[in-house]
Structure 1
Amino acid sequence: MRLTSDADRATARSARLLTAAGRRGSRLPPTVWDSLLPTLLLVNVVTTHPPQELPVAVALTAALALPLVWRRRAPLPVFGAVVAAAFVQWLMDVQLLADVALLVALYTAAAHTGRRGALLAAAVVEAGVLLACLRWAPDGAFPTPFVAVTAMTVAAAVLGVNVRTTRAYLAALEERAARLEHEREQQARLAVAEERTRITREMHDIVTHNLSVMVALTDAAVYAQHRSPEKTTAAMLQISETGRQALTDMRRSLGILRTDEPDAERHPLPGIAQLAALADQMGAAGLPTRLEVRGTHAHVPATAQLTVYRLVQEALTNTLKHTPTGTRATVRIGCSTGTVTVDVTDDGPRPPRPAAPPSGHGIPGMRERSAAYGGTLEAGPLPGGGWGVRTRLLLDSGGAASA
């Protein structure tokens, strides 16, 4: 390695040129950037060496510098080629500025290998530093150049390791960001699917119940139109009210009912307090219903009350659809500190069960509503005749979102 003052000045000039070029380096392709240093070193050797030394100096400079053009593609082979060229240079006792290629090759090797590879490459370069200082250091001045060049070697290796570590850290951050984005997309899709299921369940309960009541009331109106006109009029008014209630519930469930509309105040979110009106409605449709509420429901959350209302509504609707005239139903609601029990029974016979399981949303939807509050729905024939639906909701099970 060149250790004279002339070499130091040449190194300073080259460093200034490289610094100026580095300001625009980010705009250049990597191959063009990697070609700058070999070009500068060849220009330097051509302009600073006498003609008789020029062929050997140019050949050794080319062997040291030109492999750097491919340093990003093959860092370890390039490092080996530069080290081999530097060893030949040492054997020929030729000092060249192009030895700076060793530091660039060391930095590249450290930036693309692990810590062991970086340590091994640094050890190889340090051995070359020792050999160069032993041969070319001025008499009695060995420590100064040896320490200076060793410091540059350590700096190149540490810089390469830091670049590799930073690159790995940034790659991990990008991977984590991509994973989080994927998880957010999955959560959004799950939320959409859950909301779609909720709306489907609500629409089934609202449409099935209200249409069943309207059909029953229409049949009663047709039957009584000649014998009792006043009952026909009452039935038709009840059909109209039931239709308006169905429209209001559908608008609310679809999330388009504005809070400033009058219907929002006339028809609050149904709950346990509205079960009495539901029982009256079922009675008007031909299913006499008795309601018993034990305990206070003031502490029961609105979403849990909505679940209770929908369970009772679906159970009574099924009774109205599947039992003959004259069937009676009983609804028992029990409210305690942490639970709400729902028990709906009737005394009417049911038609034989089909061979294939029903494909509707009635009982499956009731099971989903009950499971959202940690309950297990029991639905089936009673020992003494009739049909029963029973479940217990746990108020602290966090099912509000699913109600």
Structure 2
Amino acid sequence: MDRRHAIYEWFRINRFKVDLTATVILLLLFGPVYLLAGRPFLFVLSCGLLLPLAWRRTRPVPAAAVVVLVCLVQWAAGAEPVAGQIAVPLIIYATAAYGPVWASRTVLLLGILGGVMLTTREYAGSAESGILGLTIGALYTVLIWMLVLVSWTLGDLTRVRRLQLQALEDRTRRLEIEQQQERQLAAADERSHIAREMHDIVAHSLSVIITQADGARYAAAAKPELATEALATIAATGRDSLSEMRRLLGVLRNDDDSPTRPQPRLADLDELLLGFRAATLQVAFEEQGVPRRAMPAGAELTAYRTIQEALTNVIKHGGPTAKASVTLAWQGRGLQVDVVDDGRGAAADPPAAGGGNGLRGMGERIALYDGSLSAGPEQGGGFRVSAFIPYSEA
């Protein structure tokens, strides 16, 4: 099957070579007989009709023009039909199949007109007269018209099929381009997702490590056992963060052994809160109501990261004595997440270069699920982060 397809492709690509070979064969079949019969003029006419067939698909309009011109010379000279006249239906077919629309319609009209001109000349001055002569002339005219119409119809059907195949090829090409663009967009979205994940992991872990390191430095002289505990917390946090980052960056590899992306769920909140409490942040947790149905894994990840980012900001900006509370309220439409602290808030610290990515990333995550986010200082001090995530995805 592949070999047949390769042969077909070669014939389709090398049109001129195929048509030239066929033309040479026809010339050898229908040309020399007139030279052997001592009729050179008919030899020239036959060759003049057959030669344009070599360009019938690559240059259909000039080839058709040459055939029409030779036919007019033949009619004007009163020469009899020759074997090369087989080129007429072939050129009509080729023009209808591969030429422009106006040329296709023109050769159809010329073919019909040529049939009338040929039979009129043949039978107008013949011995046949009366009704018999008219009947024979009309019969030959109808036969010529049928040959012309069949040739033109087959060519037009070939044109329609060729245009359909071309449209399918163009559509396939567009689909390939669209798929490539979709892959590029997916890769860009994956990079953005990884950047947000790494920001959450690094910001949380470094905040814990910095807090523990500061506590260990101050407690090293007075209470060495506290310093030892702080260093153990730093080591454990660093190992956990490194392991999570390795799993996260594993999605950038192409091998099948790469681990999947870490997907924390709301069930992992206890472990998250223990990490913050180990970093000396007092966190209260409350869950109200029950979920009406399960939330998508991505929505739970978004809620998890929102709480993680909000508590990380408390450690960064709330001050050493800040306390925080986390409330999960299951409502009829979705999940309400509130993280409130009594610290001094982010406004008390000067903004760092490139800061604000945490809240911006939170908003982007929540917007993917048709949720809403509000964050700002509380009256009387402190800071509140409120997010609502509906059950259904966007």
Question: 2:56, 2:94 within 8 Å by CA — same for their partners in 1?
Answer: yes
Asked if residue 221 in structure 1 is aligned to residue 205 in structure 2, the reply is no
Secondary structure of the 2:381 match is coil
Question: 2:26, 2:50 within 8 Å by CA — same for their partners in 1?
Answer: no
**321, 324, 329: which one pairs with 2:319?**
324
What percentage of residue pairs aligned between the two structures are identical?
A: 35
The residue type paired with residue 223 of structure 1 is: Y
- Structure 2 distance, partners of 1:172, 1:392, is 48
1:310 Cα deviation after fit: 0.8
Q: Which residue of 1 aligns with 2:65?
A: 80
Question: 1:292, 1:331 within 8 Å by CA — same for their partners in 2?
Answer: yes
Task: Decide whether aligned partners of structure 1 residues 299 and 36 sit closer, same or farther in structure 2, where only a CA change above 3 A counts.
Answer: closer
Asked if residue 102 in structure 1 is aligned to residue 88 in structure 2, the reply is yes
TM-score, scaled to structure 2: 0.82
Task: Decide whether aligned partners of structure 1 residues 32 and 225 sit closer, same or farther in structure 2, where only a CA change above 3 A counts.
Answer: closer
Secondary structure of the 1:87 match is helix
Secondary structure of the 2:370 match is coil
The residue type paired with residue 77 of structure 1 is: P
Asked if residue 232 in structure 1 is aligned to residue 227 in structure 2, the reply is yes
Q: Which residue of 1 aligns with 2:97?
A: 111
1:38 Cα deviation after fit: 6.1
1:326 Cα deviation after fit: 0.7
Secondary structure of the 2:79 match is coil
What do the CA deviations read for 1:262-308 (whole angstroms, capped 9, x no partner)?
x99xxx94332332333332232122111121122572333322211
- Structure 2 distance, partners of 1:172, 1:227, is 82
1:325 Cα deviation after fit: 1.1
Task: Decide whether aligned partners of structure 1 residues 166 and 349 sit closer, same or farther in structure 2, where only a CA change above 3 A counts.
Answer: same
**119, 125, 130: which one pairs with 1:133?**
119
1:35 Cα deviation after fit: 6.0
Task: Decide whether aligned partners of structure 1 residues 72 and 354 sit closer, same or farther in structure 2, where only a CA change above 3 A counts.
Answer: farther
Secondary structure of the 1:334 match is strand
**276, 280, 286: which one pairs with 2:280?**
286
Question: 2:273, 2:283 within 8 Å by CA — same for their partners in 1?
Answer: yes
Asked if residue 66 in structure 1 is aligned to residue 47 in structure 2, the reply is no
1:39 Cα deviation after fit: 6.2
Question: 1:375, 1:394 within 8 Å by CA — same for their partners in 2?
Answer: yes
TM-score, scaled to structure 1: 0.81
1:177 Cα deviation after fit: 0.7
- Structure 2 distance, partners of 1:218, 1:239, is 7
Question: 2:63, 2:91 within 8 Å by CA — same for their partners in 1?
Answer: yes
1:324 Cα deviation after fit: 1.9
**Greater Cα offset, 366-375 or 68-77:** 68-77
Task: Decide whether aligned partners of structure 1 residues 68 and 376 sit closer, same or farther in structure 2, where only a CA change above 3 A counts.
Answer: same
1:357 Cα deviation after fit: 7.5
Q: Which residue of 2 aligns with 1:387?
A: 383
**351, 358, 361: which one pairs with 2:357?**
361
Secondary structure of the 2:320 match is coil
- Structure 1 distance, partners of 2:367, 2:361, is 10
- Structure 1 distance, partners of 2:160, 2:176, is 24
- Structure 1 distance, partners of 2:264, 2:73, is 92
**18, 36, 44: which one pairs with 2:30?**
44
Q: Which residue of 1 aligns with 2:5?
A: none
Q: Number of residues paired by the alignment?
A: 371
- Structure 1 distance, partners of 2:138, 2:385, is 95
Q: Which residue of 2 aligns with 1:9?
A: none
The residue type paired with residue 85 of structure 1 is: V
Secondary structure of the 1:325 match is coil
- Structure 2 distance, partners of 1:36, 1:311, is 76
The residue type paired with residue 381 of structure 1 is: P
Question: 1:42, 1:61 within 8 Å by CA — same for their partners in 2?
Answer: no
**Greater Cα offset, 183-192 or 24-33:** 24-33
Q: Which residue of 1 aligns with 2:269?
A: 275
The residue type paired with residue 270 of structure 1 is: P
Unaligned 5+ runs, structure 1:
1-21, 399-403
Task: Decide whether aligned partners of structure 1 residues 45 and 313 sit closer, same or farther in structure 2, where only a CA change above 3 A counts.
Answer: closer
Secondary structure of the 1:374 match is coil
Secondary structure of the 1:377 match is strand
The residue type paired with residue 114 of structure 2 is: G
What do the CA deviations read for 1:137-195 (whole angstroms, capped 9, x no partner)?
69544455434333221121112112211221111111111100001101111111111
Asked if residue 124 in structure 1 is aligned to residue 110 in structure 2, the reply is yes
